[in-house]
Homo-oligomer: A and B are copies of this chain.
Amino acid sequence: MLTDLATPALVVDHAVLDHNLAAMSSRAGELGVVLRPHAKTHKSPDIARLQLQAGAAGLTVATLSEALVFAGAGFTDLFVAYPLWLDDARTAAVRRLRDLGVRLTAGCDSVESAERVAKRADGLRVLVEVDCGQHRSGVPADEAGPLAGRIAVLGLDVAGVFTFPGHSYAPEARASAARDEEAALERAASSLAECGVEPRVVSGGSTPSIGLAGAGVMTEARPGVYVFGDAQQWELGACGPDEIALTCLATVVSTRPGRVVLDSGSKALGADRPPWASGFGRLPDRPDARVEQLAEHHAVVAWPGPLPRLGERVRVAPNHVCAAVNLADELVVVRDGEVEGRWPVAARGANH
């Protein structure tokens, strides 16, 4: 029973999850792109299976250790969307993944890293990473072709390009980031073709930006957060509070006038807080409340009107669900308010 759970606990509403899976499948269908959802959000083979059943072509992961967890659970088509640097530990992981029969693709944004891959993981399939405006990793779109050409001659299989429009995580920036992404992928794909490399895969997509520009040349999208939604997506306008499938069940442990303290601190919710967020999470059932202060084990909520009683339980949507999930060992699955089962966060901590 939900009332027996030790709090804080992460709870997934299966019906909302199903809605989110179906909605993203439809959106990808309308855009004419295949879905390769990012599994770093859930780190759960159970949810990845539901994504494949809903039509996903394969999975995206962030690290080779995540890839190993999903490979161990039977997933065979994995893209590590990250600029791979093959040190000894990562080289061993790539070999293990190949031994397991995984069709592995990795990101690359430099000749130096490609040279190392060529030496240590001959013939690996790679996508060139393009920076479409977040200014994190990746090369400018115009440099994608020349880099792809240099990588191809090393004997690697350059399948195309990918980008992540992370700058879509800001109010008013979703649509412009989507247009940046569309333009950068277009330029990058042309650049590859000009350098004699066919861009078979042109991969993009983030939950807040997907569908806000034309798909253009994009062939696949890699949204992650859409499965659960979170307070950030709610405040960005990318989902409604009723589309948030994962919440943290929390207990009221202390109250003062106008203020409620919950036991869902940063070690349960994660501490992410972009400058534009209204607080450190949101309460889907109390949109007027604000999580004003977050300590490791205390969420201090400004609570208008009559306060809940001590011991009452409330639901908190983390700001960034990927961070919250990586703090938990399991997700409690509910349907119609009843506990239906538990899904292990099998890749929790698999971040190297």
Interface residue ranges, A against B (CB under 8 Å)? 4-9, 40, 62-63, 65, 82-85, 87-90, 109-110, 112-113, 116, 135-138, 166, 251-256, 259, 261, 263, 265-268, 270-273, 293, 295-298, 300, 309-311, 320, 322-323, 326-329, 349, 351-352
Contact = CB atoms under 8 A, between A and B. Distances in A.
A311 B62 contact: no
As for how many copies of this chain the complex holds, the number is 2
Nearest to A88: B4
B82 A136 contact: no
B351 A323 contact: no
Nearest to A66: B297
Contacts of A352: 6-9, 263, 268
Contact of A351 (B90, B109, B265): B265
Closest 8 CB pairs of A and B: A6-B89, A137-B254, A267-B351, A6-B352, A271-B272, A271-B271, A83-B254, A85-B253
B326 A137 contact: no
User: Mostly helix, strand, loop or mixed at chain A's interface?
Assistant: loop
A266 to B, nearest CB: 6
A252 B110 CA distance: 12
Given A261-B83, A326-B267, A254 B109 contact: yes
A300 B272 CA distance: 16
Contacts of A259: 135
A109 B254 CA distance: 7
B136 A90 contact: no
A113 B310 contact: yes
A323 B88 contact: no
B295 A136 contact: yes
Contacts of A40: 296-297
Contacts of A251: 85, 87
B110 A310 contact: yes
Nearest to A293: B136
B296 A8 contact: no
A98 to B, nearest CB: 18
A63 B351 contact: no
Nearest to A261: B137
Contact of A136 (B4, B5, B135, B298): B298
A340 to B, nearest CB: 19
Of the candidates A90, A268, A297, the one having the most CB atoms from chain B within 10 angstroms of its own CB is: A297
A320 B8 contact: no
Contacts of A110: 254-255, 310
Of the candidates A7, A65, A89, A267, the one having the most CB atoms from chain B within 10 angstroms of its own CB is: A267
Given A349-B329, A352-B8, A271 B323 contact: yes
Contacts of A136: 254, 261, 293, 295, 298, 300
A296 B63 CA distance: 11
Contacts of A273: 271, 273
Of the candidates A4, A113, A272, A328, the one having the most CB atoms from chain B within 10 angstroms of its own CB is: A272
Given A259-B135, A323-B271, A296 B62 contact: yes
Nearest to A265: B351
Nearest to A270: B271
